[in-house]
Amino acid sequence: MTVLELNQSSLESLAKSVLDIEANSILKLKERINENISQAVDTIINSKGRVIVTGMGKSGHIGKKIAATLSSTGTPAYFLHPAESTHGDSGIITRQDVVIALSNSGETSELLNLLPLIKRFEVPLIALTGKIHSTLANRADIVFDVSVEREACPLGKAPTASTTAALAMGDAIAICLLKQRGFSAEDFLMFHPSGSLGKGVLYTVGDLMIKGEELPVANENILFVDAINIITEKKLGCVILTDDTGKMTGVVTDGDIRRIIMKHTKLDNLVTKVVMTQNPKTVSENALAVKALALMEKHSITSVAVCDKNKYPIGIIHIHNLLKAGVA
């Protein structure tokens, strides 16, 4: 083997070309999405069993990832090694299952040995293959063409672009299933209770909100200068304003203060109700903490008032609470 030394510029260029080839291979898959996606989703959702994913070699590694993604997003899935399947492991397949088979050539012998069993059980077969006229494609009920113009490997040998394309198509199927099932953030938590993926949905707003004496609340008719004092004292960057019944009517934030001072030259007798932001964004204490985070990001704010169903303020959730809990 001859060692070829590349300088930094050549290495950077090569790395970028690999990414270009693989990115283009994925983008071309969009042209091949048709009724096959709805057929696959309907077939899987209407089945009473699980999804059995199988593939050999590099396709097998991709198959394991697809099975893992399906399982974590609400579609029970298992990976079946095709070489082991002929030594008893094929017993994992039941008549209620759906099989997803991956093979770039569509002629992988170990995979084809599974076909008689799949057909005998009348199990729906979904193929992800680079050869739509292959044996696998011809035997499949639903076919996804994941062919690529060329591999990113300069030798054209190592599966690179082809495995990336297959993985991307598997992700597309999994996310369509997630959406069709109405899979929620709460559902996601059940499958990721300990990891960082689940942490975002582990907490509700009520778990993290500031309440009680720390809450910056005042009547809307107080003087503006008094509102500034409350904001300074409570150190949460805002004050929640209420009417005489205690219902929330508005808010004044640090950012509002600057705007108000620039607009009003006389502040001594300025009533907060006149200058407050009316009908501000609020969130329920039962909402997921990630919902509060999304609200803050969408409106470029750092805190959100927490109100009950009658608009009475019961707390406030600040970006610092989310950061401390690991949600943001």
| Predicted pLDDT at 291 | 87
pLDDT band of 70, cuts 50, 70, 90: very high
| pLDDT for residue 98 | 96
Using alpha carbons, select from 202, 212, 215 the residue that is nearest to residue 289: 202
Mean pLDDT over each residue of the chain, to the nearest integer? 89
Contacts of 178 (CB under 8 A, 6+ apart): 73, 74, 75
Asked if the model's pLDDT at residue 88 lies above 90, the reply is no
pLDDT-based confidence at residue 178 (cuts at 50, 70, 90)? very high
Q: Cβ contacts of residue 49 below 8 Å, gap of 6+?
A: 94, 95, 96, 97, 98
Q: How many residues does the chain have?
A: 328
pLDDT of residue 61: 97
In this model, does residue 322 exceed pLDDT 90?
A: no
pTM: 0.62
- Residue showing tokens 């002929």: 86
Task: Give CATH 3.10.580.10 domain extents, the chain.
Answer: 205-325
CATH of 11-183, one of 3.40.50.10490, 3.30.70.100, 2.40.70.10, 3.50.50.60: 3.40.50.10490
Res 26: pLDDT = 96
Residues 6+ apart with CB under 8 A from 222: 271, 272
CB burial of 85-114 (b: ≥16 within 10 Å; e: otherwise) equals: beeeebeebeeebbbbbbbbebebebbbeb
pLDDT band at 197 (very low <50, low <70, confident <90, very high): low
pLDDT at 305: 94
Which token pair is 311? 């608009």
In Å, what is the CA distance from 112 to each residue of 67, 105, 204, 262? 20, 11, 49, 76
Range list for CATH 3.40.50.10490 in the chain: 11-183
Residue 37 CB contacts under 8 Å (≥ 6 apart), including other chains: 172, 173, 176
Q: Which CATH number describes the domain made up of 205-325?
A: 3.10.580.10
The pLDDT score that the predictor gives to residue 289 is 87
Q: Report pLDDT digits (tens) over 212-266.
A: 888 999 999 999 999 999 999 988 889 999 999 999 999 999 888 988 988 887 8
What pLDDT shows up at residue 86? 61
